[in-house]
């Protein structure tokens, strides 16, 4: 279900961030640079268009960033359980351990500090998204929800169903030591030759369900001109993969 929006008076006693780095969350400079490059490239394409989607929002740091690239007529959907109970015990246990302070009220207060209008908020498990978002409608999908294999595998498939042609799909925690389920689900899609990796950072994988060229080549040209990002290329699963570190970013 989509829960009612927090009332302004409910959020009035929450701290109001003035800068993105004041919002709690994990969204590193190198990934901000890449989000900006991919989204700006899409926005500059007059023939492009499509909606934005985020699975898992925490307190809104990456959602706030994404919202800055939303164009007129597009929709931005954010799906998160926030403080609602999960539908299975394992997922509910993970939510309580990892996100005890997670609330929709805090998310909305943070988002309103940067944008006049909230995104469409779906407060539910991500499994409902195929029924809430039009198929093949999203140009950018950010997946940062459950870390449990069965749920991530479903989220990977959801990203495929909802991605428009040429869409960028970003997966968080794809190699974090505490998230083996994410690694198994995401790399499984790559190994099946369905998901095409464009690049990886320390925290995120950037991929597409569509043909990776000329996007991959354009990204390499962009990175060659950046002195604040190191990158290298190696072959993985029969295709070139760009590794990026942002130690200088």
Alpha carbon of 229 to those of 34, 116, 118, 125: distances in Å?
A: 10, 33, 33, 35
Report pTM: 0.88
Q: How far apart are CA 171 and CA 177, in angstroms?
A: 15
- Rounded to 10 degrees, the C-alpha dihedral 105/107/112/113 comes to 110
CATH superfamily of 26-245: Vaccinia Virus protein VP39 (3.40.50.150)
Query: What's the pLDDT at 47?
Result: 84
Burial 93-128, CB ≥16 within 10 A → b, else e:
ebbeeebeebebbbbbbbbbbbbeebbebbbbbbee
Query: What's the pLDDT at 85?
Result: 72
The β-bridge relationship of strands 120-122 and 76-79 is parallel
Express each pLDDT in 102-122 by its tens digit: 589 999 999 999 999 999 999
Question: Mean pLDDT over all residues of the chain?
Answer: 90
Question: Nearest to residue 226, comparing CAs of 208, 207, 246?
Answer: 246
Question: Nearest to residue 52, comparing CAs of 30, 27, 29, 71?
Answer: 71
Q: Where are the domains of the chain?
A: 26-245
Average of pLDDT values for 152-164? 98
User: Is 122 in a helix, a strand, or coil?
Assistant: strand
Contact between 198 and 206 under an 8 Å Cβ cutoff? The reply is: yes
Lowest mean pLDDT among 2-6, 225-229, 231-235: 2-6
Number of residues assigned to the chain: 249
Express each pLDDT in 27-72 by its tens digit: 999 999 999 999 999 999 988 889 999 999 999 999 999 999 999 9
Q: How far apart are CA 2 and CA 4, in angstroms?
A: 7
**Helix 215-224 crosses helix 29-44 at what angle (to 10 degrees)?**
130
Query: What's the pLDDT at 246?
Result: 83
Q: How far apart are CA 55 and CA 79, in angstroms?
A: 5
Query: What's the pLDDT at 103?
Result: 86
Q: How far apart are CA 14 and CA 22, in angstroms?
A: 13
């Amino acid at each position: 279900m989509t829960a009612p929006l927090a009332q302004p008076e409910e959020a009035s006693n929450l701290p109001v961030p003035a800068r993105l780095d004041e919002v709690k969350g994990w969204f590193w400079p190198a990934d901000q640079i890449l989000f900006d490059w991919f989204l700006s490239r899409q926005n500059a394409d007059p023939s492009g268009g499509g909606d934005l989607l985020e699975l898992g929002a925490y307190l809104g740091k990456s959602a706030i960033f994404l919202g800055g690239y939303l164009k007129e007529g597009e929709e931005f959907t954010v799906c998160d359980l926030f403080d609602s109970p999960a539908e299975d015990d394992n997922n509910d246990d993970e939510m309580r351990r990892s996100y005890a302070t997670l609330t929709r009220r805090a998310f909305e207060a943070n988002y309103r500090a940067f944008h006049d209008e909230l995104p469409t908020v779906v407060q539910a498990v991500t499994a409902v998204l195929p029924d809430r978002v039009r198929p093949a409608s999203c140009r950018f999908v950010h997946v940062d929800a459950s870390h449990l294999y069965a749920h991530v595998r479903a989220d990977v498939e959801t990203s495929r169903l909802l991605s428009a042609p040429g869409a960028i799909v970003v997966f968080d925690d794809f190699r974090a030591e505490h998230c083996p389920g994410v690694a198994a689900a995401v790399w499984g899609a790559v190994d099946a030759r369905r998901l095409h990796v464009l690049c990886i950072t320390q925290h995120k994988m950037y991929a597409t369900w569509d043909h990776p060229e000329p996007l991959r080549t354009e990204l390499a040209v962009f990175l060659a001109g950046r002195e604040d990002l190191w990158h290298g290329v190696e072959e993985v699963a029969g295709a070139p993969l760009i590794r990026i570190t942002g130690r200088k970013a």
